Amino acid sequence: MLELIAAKVTDPRFVGMVLTGIATAATAFALLQPLLEPDRLGKRMKMVGEEREEIRRRERERLAARTNLRVAPKAYMKQVVERFSLERWLGTETARKQLMMAGYRSPGSETSFLFFRLVTPILLGVLAIFYLFVLGVLNQPFMIRVMLVIAALLLGIKAPELYLLNTSKKRQTEIRSAWPDALDLTLICVESGMSVEHAFRRVSAEIVSQSVVLAEELAVLTAELSYLPDRRVAFENFANRIGLDQVKGVMTALIQAERYGTPVGQALRVLSQESRDARMNEAEKKAAALPPKLTVPMILFFLPVLFVVILTPAMIQVFR
């Protein structure tokens, strides 16, 4: 038996057949392995793509729900504004600009603003008079109570403007954070051969998951570029609605490119880098301002606790 096994092992023909069979099996296994094993990476990438598209779809629906440029004012608001001619007495160019920067573009928004600018001081004044003179809660002299009523009236006059200012600041903060990424996407679209109008349309669809406000403004810019006879007006309107220096610089570069035929890609590349540098400088400024802000909380809260933890065991030993 051992001699037969030794003869087979030393037989060149048998060894060649065995090696050929092993090589054939290894080759078949190498060829069939990709077909037998599941494509985990492909499935994962497909799941990620589907999730990204789902997020974009939800954000587009949210943007479509928010973007309603023809909001009709309430009937009673319109009647009050037209009857008292509030547009002539209370309407200002600064208020209209603040309405645009806050995202209120329809004529109904201006009507609502004028209505609340009239009603808010009256309401606060009546409440102050009822609180100070009828109820007599504050036991103060008559002149001080009159001054408090006047302060309530002034607060009611400024309250709508403060609301618009706060809303516009929040929108500018969100746009400032997402603007460099939007510029990068615009640069990629322009260098790939797309026009500026189609580039902004594509960017508005892509940036919606990061900033709904910026996507809304870019959609309005695309619409204005489509129907306005002068494209320069569309760029200027976009810069006025945003109110950021970075955006104004980009719009100025686009206006010059439209007028003189200069290349847009290089200008967008430089402006994109400047926007990123500005965002980094803003983050560094906030980080540098953090230590002085933490000084007072540390003195008031950290140091007393630290002294208690350090001195309490020693005081216990002394008392013992």
Report how far residue 166's alpha carbon sits from residue 168's, in angstroms, rounded to the nearest whole number.
6
Query: Mean pLDDT lowest for which of 164-173, 177-186, 216-225, 257-266?
Result: 257-266
Is the predicted pLDDT of residue 41 greater than 60, yes or no?
Answer: no
> Taking the mean position of all CA atoms in its chain, how far away is CA 234?
22
Would you state the pLDDT for residue 217? 87
Using left for φ > 0, alpha for ψ between -120 and 50, and beta otherwise, residue 243 falls in left
Report how far residue 186's alpha carbon sits from residue 250's, in angstroms, rounded to the nearest whole number.
11
Between residues 152 and 57, which one has the greater pLDDT? 152
Would you state the pLDDT for residue 50? 67
Mean pLDDT, to the nearest integer, of 85-105?
Answer: 70
Between residues 124 and 48, which one has the greater pLDDT? 124
**In whole angstroms, how far apart are CA 309 and each of 234, 294, 300, 317?**
65, 21, 15, 14
How many percent of the chain have pLDDT more than 90?
0
Per the CB < 8 A criterion, the answer to whether 142 and 108 are in contact is no
Per the CB < 8 A criterion, the answer to whether 219 and 63 are in contact is yes
Between residues 224 and 16, which one has the greater pLDDT? 224
Would you state the pLDDT for residue 317? 87
Residue 197: exposure state from Cβ atoms within 10 A (0-12, 13-18, ≥19): middle
Is the predicted pLDDT of residue 24 greater than 70, yes or no?
Answer: yes
pLDDT in tens, 264-304: 877 788 888 887 888 788 888 888 888 888 888 888 888 88
Report how far residue 185's alpha carbon sits from residue 147's, in angstroms, rounded to the nearest whole number.
55
Mean pLDDT, to the nearest integer, of 98-106?
Answer: 78
The label of the residue with tokens 């793509």 reads 49
Cα dihedral 168→62→116→114 (10° resolution): 70
Per the CB < 8 A criterion, the answer to whether 93 and 161 are in contact is no
Would you state the pLDDT for residue 43? 62
Instruction: Tell me the average pLDDT of the chain.
Output: 78
Tokens of 46: 């497909």
The label of the residue with tokens 């402006």 reads 271
Report how far residue 33's alpha carbon sits from residue 202's, in angstroms, rounded to the nearest whole number.
41
Between residues 94 and 204, which one has the greater pLDDT? 204
Q: How confident is the model at residue 69 (pLDDT cuts 50, 70, 90)?
A: very low
Residue 205: exposure state from Cβ atoms within 10 A (0-12, 13-18, ≥19): middle
Report how far residue 91's alpha carbon sits from residue 34's, in angstroms, rounded to the nearest whole number.
71
pLDDT in tens, 167-184: 888 888 888 888 888 888
Report how far residue 134's alpha carbon sits from residue 237's, in angstroms, rounded to the nearest whole number.
50
What three-state secondary structure class fits 136?
coil
Report how far residue 201's alpha carbon sits from residue 215's, in angstroms, rounded to the nearest whole number.
9
Would you state the pLDDT for residue 87? 63
